[in-house]
Structure 1
């Protein structure tokens, strides 16, 4: 699925469609976000978290300095940023925390995730920025991710 987002409203609409789909999903595969700085990854996550119940207690910011922010939404969101892990050994405790079943994992800078840590079922979102537009390619890996992507395809009217 490829979407061209021409405004913040389009990004918000995608995030809201995503929130609707995860609310109805029995399984929440991690979402791995790829893309250069300024491509829209954190904006999408902020809009997604704000679309979830409990978001009034969540202040979304990039966790690039502390690697992880947890938001008290329903479902709880674990917002990870691996930017500062580039070129370093990957901490096994971080891997365990990334994909723990107690939160919905949104992972920025997923290109820094070691291949041997890649979850079997996940959504990939590849973000590309060109002037005022953002192109997002969304792919599913595994049955839970495929079901979520199918819901998203039906829910988006961007």
Structure 2
């Protein structure tokens, strides 16, 4: 699935569609976000979290320095940023939190996730920025991720 976003409102609309699909999904496959600085990953996550119940208690910011932010939404969101882990050993204590089934995982800078930690079922979101336009390519890996992608395709085609 390829989506071209031409404004912040378009990014917010994609995030709201994602939030609606998450609310309707029996399984919450992690979303692995790839893309350069300024591509829109954190903006998308902020809009997504703000579209979930409980977001009034969530202050969304990039977890670049602490690697993980947990937001008290429904479902709970684990927001990871692996930017600072490039070239370093991956902290195995993060693995338990990374793909815990009791929360929805959003992982920025997924290109720094070691292959051995790659979940079987996940969505890849590749963000590309060009001037004011963002292109997002979404691919599903595994049946739970495929179901979420199908919901998203329906929600964004309206």
Q: 2:92 aligns to what?
A: 92
Q: 2:154 aligns to what?
A: 154
Matched, 1:130 2:130: yes
Q: 1:110 aligns to what?
A: 110
CA–CA separation in structure 2 for the residues paired with 1:136 and 1:70: 24
Per-residue deviation, 1:101: 1.3
Per-residue deviation, 1:66: 0.2
CA–CA separation in structure 2 for the residues paired with 1:157 and 1:7: 17
Q: After the TM superposition, which residues 20-99 of structure 1 pair with which residues of structure 2 at under 5 Å, given as runs?
A: 20-99=20-99
Per-residue deviation, 1:28: 0.2
CA–CA separation in structure 2 for the residues paired with 1:110 and 1:96: 16
Per-residue deviation, 1:76: 0.3
Q: Which residues of structure 1 form unaligned runs of 5+? A: none
SS of aligned partner of 2:101: coil
SS of aligned partner of 2:19: helix
Supply the RMSD in Å over aligned alpha carbons. Answer: 0.8
SS of aligned partner of 1:45: helix
In the comparison of the two structures, how many residue pairs are matched?
A: 158
Per-residue deviation, 1:91: 1.3
CA–CA separation in structure 2 for the residues paired with 1:68 and 1:123: 19
Q: Which residues of structure 2 form unaligned runs of 5+? A: none
CA–CA separation in structure 1 for the residues paired with 2:96 and 2:71: 18
How does the TM-score come out when normalised to structure 2? 0.98
Per-residue deviation, 1:92: 1.1
Divergent runs of 4+, >6 A:
none
